Amino acid sequence: MATVSDLQRGYRVLVDRIKKTGEPLIVVNNGEPDVVVMDAATYNSGVERIREMEEKYLLKIGEEALEEYRLSKTIRLKKGQKLSDLL
């Protein structure tokens, strides 16, 4: 962790540490966490991992939904019927 003052006074040192370790830095302001600073490579890697996990999740639930449809476990809405009507 670092304070806003630490970041202002020692920007280069803190950024070099972030890049070297790959660890994000929590910046506190008035004793409270304010922002998180991380290097672009770490950020991009994290975003890519999240996208991959989302894609796997969506594919999985899509496959499950298709299987339920094949097994006739789905319900068709009647004309004018809303999904909330089934709840």
Alpha-carbon distance of 47 to 57, in angstroms, equals 15
- Overall pTM surpassing 0.85 (yes/no): no
Helix ranges (H only) for 1-87 are 4-9, 11-21, 40-70
How do strand 25-29 and strand 2-3 relate by DSSP bridges?
Answer: parallel
- Phi, psi angle pair for 56, to nearest 5°: -60, -40
Beta-carbon-side half-sphere exposure of residue 75 (alpha carbons within 13 Å): 10
Q: What is the pLDDT along the chain (87 residues), one digit of tens a residue?
A: 999 999 999 999 999 999 999 999 999 999 999 999 999 999 999 999 999 999 999 999 999 999 999 999 988 899 999 999 888
Domain edges within the chain:
2-38, 39-72
